[in-house]
Structure 1
């Protein structure tokens, strides 16, 4: 059964949430949260499960990558102000158009004393580049031709041509001990130089982090960081109001106002860099090789109505691209696909589609803001033009395994952002070399290559203008909207929202 926008808009606040606050507060999770609460404990609610502790395979910024940032160190990191600062690297600079030289901080060691030097940096980057590793981040390192150890504190990364955003991409790469890796599984264990160590990891439930006494770079600020998987929005709201959670995200907008007025906690929202889309598997029938069909699906969905009904007008309809204006490379000349059911029906006929067309729509739950409601609206409006979308709801963690395993269904709801806030990172999610692209378009890939192949900002912008226009025309997704980033905080901390998905204890300040 599908639900129309008008029905959702008229629903009572909170009626979309399936788990009651009382049920959650009575569960064992509440007791666990309460037992860990202290003046020096930071308790963070994660909206979805942590899929892996291996930073080589981490792509979900709000969980996997953020957890890695606590346990391991990158060469560089991006601060709340959006600027890069050195972590393992003291400095870095380009050498001509085909190399970057990184100067490392001396004396950094793993907990057992092994040096985190240029050899370790080379080993880690080569591991990502090795096809046998099947790293989900390999596509961003395809332009790298060689990693050269200059000295224990200098590493040169050679590229096949200009790669101006390499430092930005390295902000998401964390470094493991080659020696430790010989006998341990980084997917479930951790051994790094980050501000915290792994005290407990219960898959699908919680992570408990303790201060890393041997951290020589970023220092821990809490005696303990408790990260709890709390997939139900109403449970996150209850935890914030009860003082049992210090930081929570993806809260319903009506609850943001309720928390602010309660006097017991704080809440707010900022514009998000995450775009919601319906990802289409353009390598699988009936969407493969049928641009008009994919365009028809875009005309069939009322994005403005969805933003008004679900987000109270606070979201921004996507301008026929997956980037928001926060990204370098945003194409301000593109316009959204208008809501035009008649045009959608016409394009379906031109595409040779015999209606009703049956298609599956995967909706991963417990990760994205109001995912079930979005899925219902999309399915209902597709049905209005003769496309019967069968909704397949599944847990986000289970869905990620099929998505990352190149086995996504015909369509899937997905939220996408990239912390570098650069078109190279975001658009590369759709490059054919990326295992999760589900899109293979040579003109698009050539435009990406051109943007990556020059250090001239004007030429880069021109290349990304071509790439985004091509993606708009080919429509490998139904472009929806950029959602607001909502959050709640306890009274004992202050925290500045980034508008992205990063979750860092080092960003939190105790009052």
Structure 2
């Protein structure tokens, strides 16, 4: 009986909070944003998920550098930054910046955060981003030098995803579930899996927020997101099915559109599970999938087929010489026969639910086309948080996993490193590929870097390191209450928006 009473009370509280968030969405000084997946952690050093965790975290904690809606780097806590030599970056910080508890946002605080990420006992998920950092040196309160073991030309770009915790507060609190603001907003309410409501931080050292209150609501199902937008409950939704864009625009209640994203969709291959160690088998998978057909049938032509690589044209290191694997079922059958693989064994395809634009439909097509060339296929749908834990902690992905990858630095170093040996995301373990990236990472000459990345992407293509699919369109719907410049790099931030005057 006690459990039933508690469930009733919790249901009532949740209903009240939901009604409150709806009212907030209609208030002139508030904005409500729909997230496709729930926030898994509020610890900025324990997530690389831009479209959920880090987007919310970026309102609460400060960064040295941010990437603006124009996809260019802009100052935040760091007023300026420069390479003073090949192995030293210098940052000049904003004076007077503090966390809400009074802790200073100075060079010592930044050094502590870098040290925390690099501490193996902490086990930070983003530690790989900073593997070349050898030392952070406090020059004075407002000047920090970061020493690297080798040149790190993409370091400033990488810092646009790095957010700072208050050192003293963190020692006695759990930042995964608790927060102490140093950014434009502070947490007012957090109902895990449902919504997070933020209020403007009156102690913020930077430019005051345009909205007093921001609510992030978790709405996994696209139809529910669109209904909430049309009803005036939500101001921004992303991941709108391309088939719904015209209907939203015709409604007069909101507008919708699509731009190119920087997210590449692929069927990630677990090379540690049989028969994925077989190169001919992996190549057959690439020939068996009709990428052009998927783009046309599922996305109304609003997506772009992958050029046999993880990178798209905006990325530093994009290889324009690579061509997609053509759709050739007969070639796929020939390679399957050549591989010698027992085709009676089941091939599992995992797909995180309600995560990637029309990802469930795409997975069904992939499974069908693999079956057409003689494979026995099983689809496993899995919640996104469980999928990430399975991928990163348990290290137990299925043979294939439909996944979208992007790197907000828009640099090959970050994107390709997810396939480098030793990286927490890697399931390929190709030493030759890793050696090329190691060399490119420390090369400051732009042409030399591009040549090395051309070698790396060509190797991935030839070895069929993944099943390369398409560049996911960045679709969105926006209410008439706000102004927002669409961006293709997954960040969804209230401080990129303004109320319509």
- The two structures have a TM-score, normalised by structure 1, of 0.92
Distance in 2, matches of 1:298 and 1:463, equals 24
Matched, 1:93 2:82: yes
Q: Which moved more, 1:310-319 or 1:27-36?
A: 27-36
1:192 deviation in Å?
2.6
Q: In the alignment, what sits opposite 1:333? A: 321
Cα shift at 1:29? 8.4
Q: How does 1:160-239 map to 2 (within 5 A)?
A: 160-239=149-228
Matches for 1:280-359 after TM superposition, within 5 Å: 280-288=269-277, 290-359=278-347
**How many Å apart are 1:320 and its aligned residue?**
0.2
Q: Deviations over 1:345-380 (max 9, x none)?
A: 221222221223311111111111111111111111
Q: CA deviation at 1:420?
A: 0.9
Q: Deviations over 1:390-411 (max 9, x none)?
A: 1000111221221221232221
Distance 2:189 2:386 in 1: 22
Structure 2 CA distance for aligned equivalents of residues 43 and 270 of structure 1: 22
- SS for the counterpart of 1:200 is strand
CA contact (8 A) 2:258 2:302 kept: no
1:219 Cα deviation (Å)?
A: 2.6
Instruction: Provide the residue aligned with 2:11 in structure 1.
Output: none
Q: CA deviation at 1:457?
A: 0.6
Q: 1:195: Cα distance to partner?
A: 0.5
Distance 2:16 2:327 in 1: 46
Question: Does the CA-based 8 Å contact 1:140-1:428 persist in structure 2?
Answer: no
Indicate conservation of the 8 Å contact 1:33/1:245, yes or no.
no
Counterparts of residues 46-445 of structure 1 (less than 5 Å): 46-288=35-277, 290-405=278-393, 406-445=395-434
Distance 2:335 2:16 in 1: 53
2:480 aligned residue: 491
CA distance in 2, matches of 1:305, 1:29: 44
Report what 2:12 is aligned to: none
CA distance in 1, matches of 2:142, 2:16: 49
Q: 2:85 is paired with a residue of what secondary structure? A: coil
CA contact (8 A) 1:293 1:351 kept: yes
User: Residue 451 of structure 1 contacts residue 460 of structure 1 at CA under 8 Å; is this kept in 2?
Assistant: yes
For residues 124-166 of structure 1, what are the alpha-carbon distances to aligned partners after superposition, in whole Å with 9 as ceiling and x for unaligned?
Answer: 1111112222211111111111111111111111111111000
Structure 2 unaligned segments of length 5 or more: list them.
Answer: 1-14
Instruction: Tell me the CA shift for residue 491 of structure 1.
Output: 0.8
C-alpha contact (below 8 Å) 2:134/2:149 kept by paired residues = yes
Would you say the 8 A contact 2:41–2:47 is kept in 1?
A: yes
Q: Is the 8 A contact 1:40 1:222 kept in 2?
A: yes
Separation in 2, partners of 1:137, 1:34: 35
Distance in 2 (alpha carbons) for counterparts of 1:81 and 1:75: 18
- What do you get for the CA RMSD once the two structures are aligned? 1.4
- Distance change (3 Å), C-alpha of 1:46 and 1:33: same
**SS across alignment from 2:161:** coil
TM-score by length of 2: 0.94
Task: Name the CA distance, whole Å, in 2 between partners of 1:390 and 1:347.
Answer: 21
CA distance in 1, matches of 2:417, 2:210: 35
Q: Is the 8 A contact 1:195 1:220 kept in 2?
A: yes
1:77 aligns to what SS in structure 2? strand
Q: What is the CA distance between 1:65 and its match in structure 2?
A: 1.0
Give the superposition deviation at 1:28: 8.2
Matched, 1:470 2:444: no
Q: 1:120, 1:177 within 8 Å by CA — same for their partners in 2?
A: yes
1:479 to partner: Cα distance: 0.4
Structure 1 position 303, deviation (Å): 0.5
